[in-house]
Structure 1
Amino acid sequence: MLGFRHLVQDTHRGDKSQQIRIPFLTLTLFVVTKDTAGPYECEMKNPVSASRSDPVTLNLLSELPKPYITSKNFNPMENKNSVALTCEPKTQGYTYMWWGNGQSLPVSPRLKQLGENRILIVPNVTRNGTGTYECEIWDQVGSIYNGPDVPRIFPSLIDYRSGENLYLSCFAYSNPPAEYTWTINGKFLQSGPRLYIPKITTKHSGLYRCSARNSATGSERSTLETIRVSGKWIPASLAVGL
């Protein structure tokens, strides 16, 4: 009959080793902290002999700061203003990536990325350049996956009249960028961060849900907004005699 035990070097207490006896081949560490780091070994034994593996060192990486975007002008005039977006905070030894409307932004004559890609410049902004921009911080090992945060729906207007166009935008911080879906009264509408319904009617009244999902972590969060659509407005001069 074979028995297994895992040994971890306890550098904090100065002990030679700490034995962890478990009845399984796999050692699972929950809520990893700095005290969990160090060399690990596995020992297999029976009543007459024992064999120990080579040590494997568990190293912990520090968590990257959550990035955010700053700019002096989030509402530029079309074909007149340029916009500079800066990914904060400034950190040493990291690289930056930019996303626009859920798509990775390549370096191009239209989009200039300066200072190790930390600054994104959009010259002579047009309506095609509007949308949701996100920045991402990478270290030497790779990206830190987190999110999504609770999504927000824009604008906050909830009362509409029949015949108007309904335009909603949803955003939630997420790394990698979130995947979005829209539902109304529990029925699927479409995928993507933007929802556009032309010439709405009272049938479009209801509970709108935007769900944001992180494909890397599998986490999903959502937010709700009630939209009310009233009958089409008729001027008083035309309503006389109806």
Structure 2
Amino acid sequence: MELPTAPAGKGCVPWQGLLLAVLLSTFWNPPTTAQLTIESMPTNVAEGKDVIFLVRNLPGNLAAYGWYKGDKVDHHQQIASYKIGPVEITPGPVYSGRETIYSNGSLLFRNVTQEDTGYYTLQVINTSYQGEVGTGQLRVYQPVAQPSIQASNTTVTEHQDPVVLTCLTNDTGISIQWFFNNQSLQLTERMKLSQDNSTLTIDPIRREDAGDYQCEVSNLVSASKSDLLRLDVKYDPTLGSSGLSAGAIGGIVIGVLAGVALIAALVYFLYIRKTGGASVQHDLTEHKPSASNHSQGHSDNSPNKMDEVTYSSLNFNVQESEKPTSASPPPPATETVYSEVKKK
């Protein structure tokens, strides 16, 4: 709403004179128990938006108050003044038409610009001609523009040249964040960011790095993401299906062969240790005695035929472990055990 202009007349408007008269008293009068404070809402505002200065702890019995641009009361920097009962609002020298004063002392700014950044001062006067001053700060930021991504190469072969992604922006006083496949990028040991986060280097590149990349720039009042950049990573045919280098595969093969040789040597050692102390031979021979030895004058047609006896022998050869001696080793000892089996 536009501030009304005070009626023309000779000299100062009485309540404006009151403001001037109270100006000196502002500096020596003791403050009220609750300190007058000014708060901007929001604290940080984007250019082109609206902001309001809220007044806290206003004293009672108000007669008038005025707003000034800057951190002190300067009538050359007055935005507007407000007289209570009857209400009379008068614009000041720096009034731009975008400011509105309310009855509770609040000041509304519409369509703020970066030139509006700075301090603002409110002076209040009560009916006892006592004044109090409060100061607030306005921070106006320009919204960030959409950034873009520049890549050293968008189609690469794994384990070869590194990839460098750069977030391009003309904005200052910003923060930069990277995204991969619509998720916040989780850095690995192969990734490195520059000091201001504007450059992302991936070295060496792997197939799992393929996907969509974005960068986001932001300040205290706005944020903007770049368009997606697709990074394609090709398979290197010179590598195994596992994606390992030739040196790594060779190392694995050598390790496996060494392990097999070690196991074979261990098995052989255990076998020699088990069989080197004693060697047992089992010679099972079946002996059938002649008829003359067992018939004892009886023919095969005799009704009282004797039982047939079969002899078996089991030979054990015990071989002692070799001992270093100049004499030739004695022959192995042989023990024969006979068994008798009767057949009817």
Q: What's the TM-score, normalizing by structure 1?
A: 0.45
Task: Name the structure where helix makes up a greater proportion of residues.
Answer: 2
Q: What's the TM-score, normalizing by structure 2?
A: 0.34
